A = this chain, B = another copy of it.
């Protein structure tokens, strides 16, 4: 690895990391993003090897991640003040990495896919991807008004899901549902209880925006309507909670029922 101390805002590495942290457009142009914290960096490295560069507060212990780095990895040290300017979230962990955005191939056989329409809260999107990856979803499609998939906040919420779960951005849902050979579910108040529905075999779940739900033209793409039962006074669940319940009910039916 190549160590370097950077103390100027004019430095090219500083400028690059700051733009990765702040600009979705720049991340898309250079096809890189930034990981915040040791857990995400480890998760990435276990799957893909060394990140492109690692950034630390000057004087930090490099040993905790040096096992993941190779001789070409740039190790960039910054004074604390400068580091805080590139740290993308509220509670910086003192270690960042820049990576090339990985492109995961979709499996040919798809038993469970997830379509997300306009999920705008980065924490919700990250949490959904985490549950999706954990429950064995094969592929996620995101509509064009979702939170930025590779933003530091969504990565943080995903806790490594991004590195295992293939995701397609800016998806046109009708193209997918027209060719998908399986049941296509959306949650609606008038739907059948999810616990009475057969979720085995190829299934697509479509979930909509936190406030406004699914657009009516998207509902028309579905073949089945399901509902998570709720007690009096509560009309809906947080979208990440609802997704997690549906995905794990499918998982349960396929792995833990007769």
Q: Determine how many copies of this chain the complex contains.
A: 2
A164 touches B233 (CB 8 A): yes
Does chain B have a CB within 8 A of A50?
no
A164 touches B234 (CB 8 A): yes
CB distance from A7 to the nearest CB of B (A): 31
Shortest beta-carbon distance from A197 to chain B in Å: 10
B229 A251 Cβ-Cβ under 8 A: yes
Main secondary structure of the interface of A (DSSP, over half): helix
| Interface residue A80 (Cβ < 8 Å from any Cβ of B) | no
The reply to whether A133 and B234 form a contact with Cβ atoms under 8 Å apart is yes
Chain A 233-258 interface mask (CB, 8 Å, partner B; 1/0): 11111101111110011011001100
- A231 cross-chain contacts in B, Cβ below 8 A: 133-136, 164
Q: Name the segment of A11-19, A60-68, A70-78, A123-131 touching the other chain.
A: A123-131
Closest-CB distance, A204 to chain B (whole angstroms): 18
Q: Are A159 and B245 in contact (CB under 8 A)?
A: no
Q: Tell me the complex Cα distance, A33–B230, Å.
A: 26
Q: How many A residues have CB within 8 A of the partner chain? A: 44
Verify if A228 is at the interface (C-beta below 8 Å from B). yes
Within 8 Å by CB of A252, from B43, B195, B234, lies B195
Whether A193 contacts B256 by the Cβ 8 Å rule is: yes
Task: Kindly state whether residue A163 has any CB partner on chain B within 8 Å.
Answer: yes
Question: In angstroms, how far is the closest chain B Cβ from the Cβ of A19?
Answer: 24
**Complex: how many Å from CA A191 to CA B27?**
40
Selected from B164, B195, B248, the residue in CB contact (under 8 A) with A256 is: B195
Produce 1/0 per residue, A152-177, CB < 8 A to B. Answer: 00000101110110000000000000
Residues of A that sit less than 8 Å from B by CB: 43, 47, 121, 123, 126-127, 130-131, 133-136, 157, 159-161, 163-164, 193, 195-196, 228-238, 240-245, 248-249, 251-252, 255-256
Q: What are 30 A-B interface contacts by the 8 Å CB criterion?
A: A123-B123, A127-B237, A127-B241, A130-B238, A130-B241, A131-B241, A133-B231, A133-B234, A134-B234, A134-B237, A136-B231, A157-B238, A159-B234, A159-B236, A160-B235, A161-B233, A164-B231, A164-B232, A164-B233, A164-B234, A195-B255, A195-B256, A229-B251, A237-B244, A240-B240, A241-B241, A242-B244, A244-B244, A244-B245, A245-B245
